[in-house]
Amino acid sequence: MLREMCKSKIHRATITEAKVDYSGSINIDRDLMDRADIVPYEKVLVVDIENGNRFETYAIPAESGSGTIGLLGGAAKLGNVGDKVIIMSFFMLEDDMAKTHERKLVLVDEKNMPLKDKE
């Protein structure tokens, strides 16, 4: 049996921009994507802690070290600059591997700079 598991998450990042006039997605600092093992165009689940909105979209890399977390397209209507979000990626694992799996956790400060990684 396969189980869908949380592969990684970027925890309590701050939205730095919201651009409605875009084809849609979330722009994430490339360093954070790498730390969270999220590749360009990978599907992610975004949870806005401030308003409770949850939505799926795909990740687009922003400049490394920029701290960018940008809601683009329709997603820009689901959160506001300054809101805290959790960005999660998932994958499928066989049942025996799922029982011991631990997700990768990327913690960030108020400027979306990584504090430390937890395996």
Residue positions annotated with a catalytic role: 25, 58
Q: List, in sequence order, the alpha helices (H) in the chain.
A: 30-35, 95-98
CA–CA separation, 99 vs 42, rounded Å?
A: 24
Q: Can you count the helices (H) and strands (E) in the chain?
A: 2, 9
Q: Which amino acid is residue 83, in one-letter code?
A: D
Contact 43, 57 (CB under 8 A): yes
